[in-house]
Structure 1
Amino acid sequence: MLERLFCFLALCVLCGAAQAVTVLDDARQKIEITRAPQRIVSLLPSLTETVCALGQCQRLVGVDRYSNWPEGIQALPRMGGGIDPNIESIVAQKPDLVLLAGSTRGVERLQSLGITVLRLEPRTHADVQRVLRTVAEAIGVPRSEADRVWREIDAGVQAAVQSLKPQARSLRVYFEVSPTPYGASESSFIGETLLRMGVRNILPAALGPFPQINPEFVVRAQPDVIMAGDSSRASMLQRPGWAQMRAVREDRICVFQPEQADIVVRAGPRMAEGARLMAECLNRTAGGAR
């Protein structure tokens, strides 16, 4: 009897050891995870969506205020945002893993409380693939599943690329991610999608993925098409020189409604759907561009 008990306990130890992994986060820190987390808090919408795309939505016990997809997470407790995470609420959920962006505040406080924190912030297509694999490894999902999800995303982006009309492929585009204004350059995942479409981005990669833009820069560049969220449209017409731009005068502005904007600006599992929305915009506006 004692021998059987000893064997059982030894097997449990071996199983636990087999589940232990060490992953590298975006702060270049090695994060040791001793067993597959069952209570996960996510403080970045793209990471929330990544967990769910890997089929593990049920492990989420809290999310940030901006996470809104898939529908099943709507009832989860809200833990603030990147600049104001609610540490007390996070701790109260007793998470064994917190997923957040590298810029999220309070990381040191959470770590000092013994909570495992994994900082990940996808900005490019390669980042999305890497984050899928890292999250999968961290939560005990086979890498093959992460690779399957990535193949579906990449195939969806390619389908959007192939749907583009020939006359849309030479358009010059300005993509605004927020009305500050911040734009999406060639080095962002949005810029990479536009590049795959053969479209020219007026914001060069040298500016960084999501640079703050001087509105006069856009006026001088005279893009053929402007893409922006609904929150930007009203402020655009107040900017010096913008009302006289051809794209504005000829209404070659694609305004994404809030739900669409969430899809387009998140580097995550819905990137293919975002590519489809951009392709639809370009196809609609291609005829009037000069």
Structure 2
Amino acid sequence: MKKIVWILIFYINLFAGERIVTLSPSLNEIVFALGSGKDIVANTLHSDYPKESESIPKVGGYASISLEKILLSKPTLVFAQNYDEELLLNLKKLSLNYYSFKTNNLDSIKTTIKKIAKILHKENKASKIIKEIDSSLEALKNIVKDKTFMIVISPKLDLDRTIYISGNNLYFNDIIKYSGNSNAYKSKSDAQPVVNMEKIINMNPDVVVLLAPFMHKQKLTKEQLKANWYKLPITASKNKDIYVIDKDYAGIPSNRVVNFINDFKKILEDVKNK
């Protein structure tokens, strides 16, 4: 009888799924995309895609991760971003089986998808996801060339001194370059650029893209967000080449970057057809 019990325990453990904690929305989305979302036992406050993510227990937000809640979820795997060194050190001290990942540019997003897929034995699924990303990038070529683009992150109605734009170390910059165009922001620094109206006027972008995934919660319209930009003496406003991407994936470096690439393609086509 004891032998039978031990055999049953062995097979239960052998075929039991992982208990995964994802500590960022992007990692949460990647795990779901790979087909292992059912194994996520905890995630973060802003992990709300796909829909099933909303009902998964939360362990905190970007700067408020609770180690206690992570431990209570009894994870076998913890997936974290690489930027929070203190958090990673604490995960190590707790002897948790954790992995850290970068998702700042396109190469690191694809590498993260591959690494997580290898851990979860989902390599075939990862290959399909990466192939889709690469195909979408190829479709950007030769639509519009030699234009300067500025991508604004979380735009406000007022153009004050704290306007966050994409620098040269984010996947937005990779997408712009892949399309045969360039970033209006020129710098060798990897730091997050914060600019004001004067700097924007000096950069004089041909096209401005406003990333506004939270505009609906704030009850704002696209025209309201674009209004003050049209007042600036820049080429983008003169040619009415100011666009808003209001989808929830705007700014999340996950497998859904393919959706952003497709939106960017539509912008390129609109610029071309004017």
Confirm whether residue 202 of structure 1 aligns to residue 179 of structure 2. Answer: no
Partner residue of 1:58 out of 38, 41, 62: 38
Which of 96, 101, 104 is equivalent to 1:115? 96
Picking from 171, 176, 186, the partner of 2:147 is 171
Q: Which shows bigger deviation, 248-257 or 120-129?
A: 248-257
| Residue of structure 2 equivalent to 1:92 | 72
Q: Contact conserved, 1:100 with 1:118, CA < 8 A, in 2?
A: yes
Deviation at 1:215, TM superposition (A): 4.1
Paired amino acid for 1:177: I
Note the C-alpha offset of 1:245.
2.8
Question: Where do 5+ consecutive residues of structure 2 fail to align?
Answer: 156-161, 216-221
| Partners of 2:226 and 2:242 within 8 A in 1 | no
**Matches of residues 133-148 of structure 1 in structure 2 within 5 Å?**
133-139=114-120, 141-148=121-128
Contact 1:37 1:97 in 2 (8 A): no
Q: Does structure 1 conserve the Cα–Cα contact (< 8 Å) formed by 2:44 and 2:60?
A: yes
- The answer for the alignment partner of 1:268 in structure 2 is 254
Q: Offset at 1:210?
A: 4.1
Task: Structure 1: give runs of 5+ residues left out of the alignment.
Answer: 20-34
Q: 2:107 maps to which residue?
A: 126
Given that 1:171 and 1:286 are in contact with CA atoms closer than 8 Å, whether structure 2 keeps it comes out as no
Q: 1:151 aligns with which of 125, 131, 134?
A: 131
Name the counterpart of 1:229: 211
Q: Is the 8 A contact 1:227 1:253 kept in 2?
A: yes
- CA RMSD after TM alignment: 3.4
Shift in Å, 1:237: 6.8
8 Å Cα contact 2:211/2:251 also seen in 1: no
TM-score by length of 1: 0.74
Matched residue SS, 2:46: coil
1:229 and 1:194 mapped to 2: Cα distance? 14
Deviations 1:156-215 (A, max 9, x none): 3323x15x64xx323211011244423223442111111111122112361327433354
| AA at the equivalent of 2:210 | A
